[in-house]
């Protein structure tokens, strides 16, 4: 009898990013391997702060043990608050918790204030997470970085399980062109302003191509104008899959330096295309792959330091090729076969 699996996903309306692509990839991988699979998704709204717990409790009230009188054999939960759902065979593949209440608390990236109402919501999130995550038969995360946070804040063990890029089978190595690529979402946490500031400091008039959309685009374009970068900073907006794969194949290097990233598909995609990655020493999950001087560059989160490495890699295509090719073996074994075996066999 075909095993019936539901993937539980949280969706912020009108937003698609790495978490959504992960869910799509997992759904397709399970279906290709003969499972009956569907996705259950509920919208998530974190403003005002008090709405967070209401959204979370909607998952707790959901009964998906049976659908149309047919049993659901397993659920696979992803990011907060989907893992609050009840099911006797619940496996968590944790993308991240509500980071604004955890590691981002007290930073500009969190909208939680040090007031009674917000502290009460934060405490409630801690309690809900402890219950929902403890119930899981198995806990996986998308990186060692996410596992460390789970251990630090919730004292819960987990196993890192890297997700493949949806482009994994299509990425290829082309010539080492004359531009730095950023494929990141245009979001303040991705720190694309550091790249723009670095471009203003390079010795040569290096170009950067930004392939992505996001709420930070207007600010970044204004910054590029203020820095007088002209056509050295190109904002393409949304590009289709084929165009993005071509951009990876022709880049000299990929810039990816977010704040304490959970995982970072851009890193494994860059290595899949044999491109070196320029990142920072506080980029989180990116540092599980990038080794300074081996397959990319790891520098302080300062424009001058980034500019120095950009100049270095732009001065020598042979250096870019050596570094990029050194990254390929690190991502070769990140496959859906391994992910599916882990998530399904441990249930």
SS (H, E, C) 206-224: CEEEEECCCCCHHHHHHHH
pLDDT of residue 346: 56
pLDDT of residue 319: 98
Point out the domain boundary residue: 161, 190, 220.
Answer: 161
Residues in the chain: 347
CA distances from 111 to 3, 64, 118, 244, 266 (A): 41, 32, 9, 33, 27
Nearest to 168 by CA among 333, 346, 2: 333
Asked if the structure places residue 347 within a domain, the reply is no
pLDDT tens sequence across 40-76: 999 988 788 988 998 899 999 999 999 988 999 999 9
Whether 22 and 59 map to the same domain: the answer is yes
pLDDT of residue 207: 97
The residue written with tokens 């970085």 in the block is 145
E-assigned strands of the chain? 4-11, 36-43, 66-67, 70-71, 74-77, 90-94, 138-141, 159-160, 179-182, 207-211, 233-237, 253-255, 277-280, 296-299
Write the DSSP symbol of residue 261: B
Whether 124 and 213 map to the same domain: the answer is no
Asked if the structure places residue 157 within a domain, the reply is yes
Point out the domain boundary residue: 161, 193, 208.
Answer: 161
Whether 28 and 61 map to the same domain: the answer is yes
Give CA–CA dist 52/125, Å, rounded.
8
Whether 79 and 192 map to the same domain: the answer is no
The Cα diameter of the chain in Å comes to 67
Phi (first) and psi of residue 217, to 5 degrees: -60, -45
pLDDT of residue 18: 81
Whether 33 and 64 map to the same domain: the answer is yes
Task: Tell me which residue range forms the domain holding 78.
Answer: 4-161
Which residues lie below 8 Å from residue 39, measured CB to CB, with a gap of 6+? 6, 7, 8, 9, 23, 27
Whether 133 and 280 map to the same domain: the answer is no
Whether 151 and 19 map to the same domain: the answer is yes
Whether 218 and 298 map to the same domain: the answer is yes
Give the gyration radius of the chain's Cα atoms: 21
Whether 273 and 146 map to the same domain: the answer is no
Point out the domain boundary residue: 161, 194, 216.
Answer: 161
Asked if the structure places residue 290 within a domain, the reply is yes
Asked if the structure places residue 235 within a domain, the reply is yes
pLDDT tens sequence across 8-43: 999 887 777 788 999 999 999 999 999 999 999 999
CATH number assigned to the domain comprising residue 327: 3.40.50.2000
Whether 91 and 221 map to the same domain: the answer is no
Determine which helix (DSSP H) or strand (DSSP E) holds 131, and give its type and residue range: helix 116-134
Asked if the structure places residue 336 within a domain, the reply is no
pLDDT of residue 13: 79
pLDDT means over runs of 10, the chain (347 residues): 93 81 95 96 88 91 92 96 97 96 93 94 96 97 97 97 94 97 96 98 97 96 98 96 97 98 96 98 98 98 98 98 97 95 82
Say how many domains are in the chain. Answer: 2
Asked if the structure places residue 286 within a domain, the reply is yes
Asked if the structure places residue 345 within a domain, the reply is no
Asked if the structure places residue 173 within a domain, the reply is no
Whether 275 and 311 map to the same domain: the answer is yes
Which residues lie below 8 Å from residue 181, measured CB to CB, with a gap of 6+? 208, 209, 211, 247, 248, 251, 253, 254, 255, 270, 275
Whether 281 and 208 map to the same domain: the answer is yes
């Amino acid at each position: 009898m075909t095993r019936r699996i539901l993937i539980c996903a949280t969706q912020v309306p009108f937003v698609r990013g790495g978490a959504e692509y992960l869910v799509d990839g997992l759904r397709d991988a399970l279906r290709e391997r003969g499972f009956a699979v569907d996705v259950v998704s509920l919208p998530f709204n974190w403003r005002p702060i008090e709405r967070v717990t209401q959204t979370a409790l909607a998952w707790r009230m959901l009964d998906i043990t049976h659908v149309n009188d047919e049993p659901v054999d397993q659920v696979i939960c992803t990011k907060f608050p989907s893992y609050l759902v009840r099911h006797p065979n619940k496996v968590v593949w944790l993308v991240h918790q509500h980071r604004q209440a955890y590691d981002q608390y007290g930073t500009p990236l969190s909208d939680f204030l040090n007031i009674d109402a917000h502290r009460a919501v934060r405490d409630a999130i801690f309690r809900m997470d402890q219950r929902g995550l403890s119930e899981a038969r198995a806990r996986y995360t998308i990186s060692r970085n996410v596992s460390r946070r789970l251990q630090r804040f919730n004292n819960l063990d987990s196993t890192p399980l890297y997700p493949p890029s949806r482009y994994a089978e299509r990425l290829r190595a082309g010539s080492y062109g004359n531009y730095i690529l950023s494929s990141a979402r245009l979001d303040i946490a991705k720190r694309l302003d550091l790249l723009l500031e670095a471009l203003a400091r390079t010795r040569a008039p290096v170009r950067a191509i930004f392939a992505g959309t996001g709420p930070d685009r207007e600010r970044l374009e204004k910054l590029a104008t203020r820095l007088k970068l002209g056509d050295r900073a190109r904002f393409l907006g949304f590009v289709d899959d084929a165009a993005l794969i071509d951009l990876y194949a022709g880049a000299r290097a990929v810039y990816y330096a977010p704040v304490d990233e959970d995982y970072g598909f851009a890193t494994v995609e860059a290595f899949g295309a044999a491109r070196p990655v320029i990142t920072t020493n506080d980029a989180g999950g990116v540092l599980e792959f990038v080794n300074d001087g081996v397959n990319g560059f790891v520098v302080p989160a300062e424009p001058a330091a980034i500019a120095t490495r950009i100049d270095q890699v732009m001065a020598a295509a042979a250096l870019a090729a050596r570094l990029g090719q050194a990254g390929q073996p690190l991502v070769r074994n990140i496959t859906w076969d391994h992910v599916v075996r882990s998530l399904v066999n441990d249930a």
